[in-house]
A and B are shown apart, each in its own frame.
Chain A
Amino acid sequence: MGAEHNTDELACLGEWVAVGHKAALATVVSTWGSSPRPVGSHLVINDQGEFLGSVSGGCIEGAVVAEALEVMADGDPRTLDFGVSDEEAWDVGLSCGGAIRIYLERVE
């Protein structure tokens, strides 16, 4: 992919796995109301806490990275919901007024 390597989330994910890192893939599967990233957007995370891409305007990435480390440990894929009606979402600061569902999975 040449120059795309530095910004392509899946290429980055593949490289991490190839050099022995554990890694996880987060994907926006649905959105409601105003949310900054379209369905299908990816965030990839490795076991060092490094990440590339985004699933929001930056407001929930921290929470997703933390959850990803657990997915890497236990291997169970899961769905995460963030939204204005969700008190935890306010804790991590989803202030855009929308809601997002994210699917989080480990690369096996």
Chain B
Amino acid sequence: MKRALLEELQCARIAKIPVALVTELDVGAQALVYTDHLVASELTFDLSRLAEIRSLLRTARSGLLNDSSLFVRSYVPAYRLLIIGAVHIAQALATLARECDYRVTVIDPRRAFATEQRFHNAELCPEWPDEAMARLAPDAQTAVVTLAHDPKIDDPALMAALDSQAFYIGALGSRRTHEKRCERLAQQGFGEFLGRINAPIGLNLGGRSHAEIAVAILAQIIQARYNE
């Protein structure tokens, strides 16, 4: 691999632009293919090959192309996890999710909770969730988890999540808490979408500690991601 190509690949990854590195395995020639253009090419592709490469890139898959020695390695921005409520469970969840390659953002307007010391490996947003969620714009590669246990913090975040394509939405709280939450959200016009909220949150693993609950939540997020 040419050093300049590696640098350009890293620039794209840092800028969170999806890019495929295509390698002709017999001779080592390489190209970078983006969703809308092609650069740094030591290779030429016909339109059908280009379509095959972009199809892999769009679905974040890597592999050999049929009847060729072309290998495609897709690099796509990390999935995101937005955690609302900088609570004890959030600390464990942020750490575990980072290990699974999620980009983690913790939202909590209570500055005593959302501190660097408590969340050294996550981006912190000490804003109100409605503002933060508008700025962060969850997409189909984003999971949203509310843990604040306070309706005035959790509810606006859930409404924003239900308005988005987020692939996972989960809310901490008992069945009874969730029933009351659903009543409030239904009054706001979200009645038909409430089934998207995973509550009580997490797979039923039986654990009780904050870290065990974080594992149960992350396990459910992983399940949602791969079992669409």
Is B64 on the interface with A (CB-CB < 8 A)?
yes
CA distance A79 to B73 in the complex (A): 15
Is the CB–CB distance between B14 and A29 below 8 Å? no
B25 proximity list for chain A (CB < 8 A): 29, 77, 79, 103
B6 touches A30 (CB 8 A): no
Q: CB-CB < 8 A to A1: which residues of B?
A: 13-14
Is the CB–CB distance between B7 and A14 below 8 Å?
A: yes
B2 and A39: CB pair below 8 A? no
Q: Which of B2-35 contact A (CB under 8 A)?
A: 2-3, 6-7, 9-10, 13-14, 23, 25, 28
Interface size class of chain A, counting residues whose CB lies under 8 Å from the partner chain: 20 to 34
Asked whether A29 and B64 contact (CB < 8 A) given A40-B74, A79-B25, the answer is: yes
Give the number of residues in B that approach A within 8 Å (Cβ atoms): 21
Q: Which residue of A lies closest to B123 (CB)?
A: A2
Complex Cα gap A27–B1 (Å)? 12
How many Å lie between the Cα of A77 and that of B2 in the bound state?
12
Asked if B71 is at the interface (CB within 8 A of a chain A CB), the reply is yes
Pick the residue among B1, B10, B74 that contacts A11 (CB under 8 A). B10
Complex alpha-carbon distance, A1 and B11, angstroms: 10
| Total inter-chain residue pairs, C-beta < 8 Å | 49
Question: Does B62 lie at the interface of the complex (its beta carbon under 8 Å from any beta carbon of A)?
Answer: yes
**Contacts of B7 on A, CB cut-off 8 Å?**
14
A39 and B6: CB pair below 8 A? no
- Min distance, Cβ A62 to any Cβ of chain B, angstroms: 23
By CB atoms of chain B within 10 A, which of A3, A11, A40, A79 has the most? A40
B1 adjacent to A105 (CB under 8 Å): yes
The reply to whether B121 and A3 contact each other, CB–CB distance below 8 Å, is: yes
* A69 sits at the interface (CB 8 A): no
Is A13 among interface residues, defined by CB-CB distance under 8 A? yes
Q: Is the CB of B3 within 8 A of A107?
A: yes
Q: Which of A25-48 contact B (CB under 8 A)?
A: 25, 27, 29-30, 38-40
Binding site for A on B (CB under 8 A): 1-3, 6-7, 9-10, 13-14, 23, 25, 28, 62-64, 71, 73-74, 98, 120-121
12 pairs of residues in contact across A and B, judged by CB atoms under 8 Å: A10-B6, A11-B10, A13-B6, A14-B6, A27-B73, A29-B25, A29-B64, A29-B71, A39-B62, A107-B2, A107-B3, A108-B2
